[in-house]
């Protein structure tokens, strides 16, 4: 929570300089600096993550270890390429706070003051929800999905899962769940900005449920089990976002009432 508060403070409008109007080439120069810094940060963090590739492999193998006895690979360079990809992915996760900060400093001057305020407030919650989604996929979705898929094996159908396919499947589910758990942030932001009224969202719960099912089918492998495993918490988060917006609305009204009385 402390780290989330610090990130929120760092993204607050007080840390964003009030830029004077810039020309197209000045904006292009700022974008170039932002891209160079982000690429350098990603390269440095990827190099730093490379020596710990065995540790990353053990972390990703663990949730499916109860359903898989062994993992194989077919081509000699497969494992080396896999380790390089893992280093890039974990390097990206390590560098993510810095990347977000750089993108924020580039985008923030173009936003209105109230937009900056809400993005700064929701940034810490967004980070928490991302890792909550990753943990949910790690401890629930991946083990149950692997158990379900492996149950189709028989005496004649022996699963022979390759390491690249398993790691790709697991990594995709982890990142997809982390991104999907951002739904409450998007909804609260839209409702607070008045773009989508809360009452309208509440009346169209059925449509929202269908959209969530479609999104879950898009972000997960083509099977109904993992789709339902993702859609259930997403719909719960949708209901939580409605409740959160309602609470924030009451707090705002109470604050305005106190201000008017004074």
Task: Give 84-124 pLDDT, tens digit per residue.
Answer: 988 998 899 899 889 988 888 888 887 777 777 777 777 77
Whether 189 and 108 have beta carbons less than 8 Å apart is answered as no
Q: What is the percent of the chain where pLDDT is above 90?
A: 13
Task: Give 176-199 pLDDT, tens digit per residue.
Answer: 888 888 888 888 878 877 788 888
Mean pLDDT value across residues 10-34: 68
Q: Map residue 72 onto helix, strand or coil.
A: strand
**Confidence at residue 221, expressed as pLDDT on a 0 to 100 scale:** 66
Confidence of residue 5 (pLDDT cuts 50, 70, 90): very low
- Taking Cα atoms as reference points, which of 119, 251, 98 lies closest to residue 193? 119
Task: Give 50-66 pLDDT, tens digit per residue.
Answer: 888 888 888 999 998 88
Whether 14 and 108 have beta carbons less than 8 Å apart is answered as no
Q: What is the percent of the chain where pLDDT is above 70?
A: 90
Distance CA 227, CA 8 (A): 32
Distance CA 246, CA 188 (A): 10
**Across the chain, what does the average pLDDT equal?**
81
pTM here? Answer: 0.73
Task: Give 9-21 pLDDT, tens digit per residue.
Answer: 554 444 454 556 6
- Taking Cα atoms as reference points, which of 166, 150, 177, 148 lies closest to residue 59? 166
**Confidence at residue 21, expressed as pLDDT on a 0 to 100 scale:** 67
**Confidence at residue 33, expressed as pLDDT on a 0 to 100 scale:** 92
**Between 39 and 106, the higher pLDDT residue:** 39
DSSP the chain: -HHHHHHHHHTSGGGS--PPP--HHHHHHHHHHHHHHHHHHHHHHHHHHGGGHHHHHHHHHGGGTTT-S--B-SSTTHHHHHHHHHHHHHHHHHHHHHHHHHHHHHHGGGS-HHHHHHHHHHHHHHHHHHHHHHHHIIIIIHHHHHHHHHTT--SS-----BHHHHHHHHHHHHHHHHHHTTHHHHHHHHHHTTSS-HHHHHHTHHHHHHHHHHHHHHHS-SSHHHHHHHHHHHHHHHHHHHHHHHHHHHHHHHHHHHHHH-
**Confidence at residue 39, expressed as pLDDT on a 0 to 100 scale:** 95
């Amino acid at each position: 929570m402390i780290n989330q508060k610090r990130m929120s403070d760092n993204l607050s409008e007080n840390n964003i300089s009030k830029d004077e109007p810039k020309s197209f080439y000045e904006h292009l120069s700022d974008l170039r600096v932002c891209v160079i810094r982000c690429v350098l940060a990603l390269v440095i963090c990827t190099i730093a993550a490379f020596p710990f590739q065995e540790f990353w492999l053990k972390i990703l193998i663990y949730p499916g270890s109860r359903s898989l006895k062994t993992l194989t690979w077919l081509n000699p360079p497969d494992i080396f390429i896999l380790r390089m990809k893992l280093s890039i992915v974990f390097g990206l996760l390590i560098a993510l706070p810095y990347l977000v900060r750089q993108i924020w400093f580039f985008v923030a001057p173009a936003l209105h003051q109230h937009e900056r305020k809400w993005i700064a407030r929701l940034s810490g919650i967004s980070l928490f929800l991302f890792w909550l989604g990753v943990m949910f996929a790690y401890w629930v979705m991946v083990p149950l999905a692997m158990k379900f898929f492996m149950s189709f094996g028989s005496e004649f159908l022996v699963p022979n899962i390759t390491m690249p396919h398993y790691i790709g499947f697991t990594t995709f589910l982890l990142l997809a769940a982390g991104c999907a758990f951002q739904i409450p942030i998007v909804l609260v932001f839209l409702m607070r900005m008045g773009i989508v009224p809360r009452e309208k969202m509440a009346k169209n719960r059925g449509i929202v449920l269908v959209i969530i099912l479609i999104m879950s089918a898009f972000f997960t492998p083509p099977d109904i089990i993992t789709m339902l495993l993702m859609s259930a918490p997403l719909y719960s988060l949708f209901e939580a976002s409605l409740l959160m917006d309602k609470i924030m609305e009451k707090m705002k009204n109470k604050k305005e009432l106190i201000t008017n009385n004074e």
